[in-house]
Amino acid sequence: MIHYRLVTALPSEQEQCHLITRPDSPLLQQDALRNNPLIAEMTARAAQGKLADTCFGCGPFTRITLVPQSAWQDNLTDSLLAFLRPLFASPACREVLLDCTHIHDTVLAKTLRFLFNQQHRLTDLGLKTTTQNDTRLTHIHAYCPDRELARLEPLFKQQQAIANGMVAARRLADIPSEQCTPQFVVEEAQRLCAAFPALRCEVLDEQAIVEQGLGLLHAVGKGASRPPRLLAIHYEGASHGAVRSYVGKGITFDTGGLWLKDGAGMYTMKYDMCGAANVLGLMLSIAELALPVRVMGVLALAENAIGPDAMQPGSVARACNGMTVEINNTDAEGRLVLSDAIAWASQHHAQTRYIIDLATLTGAVVKALGYELSGLMTQDKALRSALTLAGEQSGDEVWSLPLDARLKKQTESAIADLCNTPTNNAAISASAAWLLHHFCPADIPWAHLDVSGTALWREGGKSVASGRPIPLLMQHLLNDLVKEA
């Protein structure tokens, strides 16, 4: 756990701190820094739009970093984080003093999440034998004026809880798939949820999946030696009221099935369960903040494998709402498990405020939107507007793609109610969403988030889980609670 405190004066333990500030900060006028000739040189460099960073001659601090002025207000291109990220790849200090005197709220929220996320490194999985820099961030001191304390305290509390959920999701997603099986995800979720009395786990094993008619989830998972699971996490932060539901795609590894991917396309497929991992992280964040709300998170967990029982192109499977789907592409398995899970979630509570699903669903959304924006597809205007606003406020943004009856032909089948992929290879992301919308009743607001571009952080040719879109969904929920009050 990384701890934080808000301070209105320089902390006494300055010699343990990494000071991160801007060239015109009042902190640089403190007695401890004002007469240091190095500060003048660093200030001039930062004023030119360059990073000024040193671990030498910067007493009483261990490290001083001056980030150019413009970065502290840049909530679009994340230039502050671009400056900071390389520094924390090999940190010099266990404590940070962050200057919060002149920073955009969204930039501050994203910076805090970045710092709190330093709790997790890939080396924590214990799979690398070489020694690494063991200096880890443990404390964040946030310098702000007295008048800002009351306003900033809830922001820090919320961002810490959001980051803790992101860390739990990232750790789970980063685990190699031979260990991170559907049953492993269930057990890990049960372990993490046990810390919060308001969380309760409900598990459907492979037999219950068949008995309850989740034929699409069964079809995807039946080819693997490690059987599928449906995990529902219930949060009862209120005694009554509508339930907000989140559904996550949890393909613990995706070979493509008999529609086999090539090697390069398969390499990152342990991350095809990021949607489910992030639903788990979201539930943990909600519980940590003890929000007065009822929430259900549904994780549709399966491995899309090759084997004697693997689903075949041309097969037809029936979902738990009775609709049939022709499986004309076994590598479009995510929309199958999501369809069943959305239908199951819609049937589970008499009163549902909305259902939002999240999935690393299509590579096409990356071609359309890149790696910074999640794709949003919904026919509910109010939900679209609310999610778009929450994305802007949190810095975890979405971009809306069309979803209407013009996509109908993309999912038509001669033998079943629907087919799982369009035969013309067009509008792939929106076509997948059009399939999904059939499984949520029209009276329940529903939205689909395709996070194929945003669920991973890509740097230096490597990919790791990012924890997105937990910040977006938490901001949306917090906004929704204010609106409902």
Please give the average pLDDT of every successive group of 10 residues along the chain, which has 485 residues: 92 82 88 81 93 87 94 95 93 93 95 97 88 84 94 97 98 97 98 98 98 98 97 96 97 95 91 98 98 98 96 97 97 97 95 97 96 97 98 98 96 97 93 98 98 92 93 98 87
Contacts (Cβ under 8 Å, ≥6 apart) of 449: 356, 357, 358, 359, 374, 375, 376, 387, 398, 469, 472
Instruction: List domains and CATH numbers for the chain.
Output: 3-163 (3.40.220), 177-484 (3.40.630.10)
Asked if 335 is an active-site residue, the reply is: yes
What per-residue confidence (pLDDT) applies to 134? 79
Counting beta carbons within 10 angstroms of the beta carbon of residue 356, is it exposed (0 to 12), middle (13 to 18) or buried (19 or more)?
buried
Whether 50 is a known active-site residue: answer: no
> Residue 345: which residues within 8 A CB-CB, separation 6 or more?
232, 245, 247, 296, 298, 352, 355
The reported pLDDT for the residue numbered 460 is: 76
Query: Could you tell me the pTM of the whole model?
Result: 0.96
Active-site residue, selected from the candidate residues 270, 318, 335, 384:
335
pLDDT, residue 5, reads 95
Residue 32: its pLDDT value, please? 72
Give residue 14's pLDDT: 74
Per annotation, catalytic residue among 45, 94, 121, 261 = 261
pLDDT at 294: 98
At residue 344, the pLDDT reads: 98
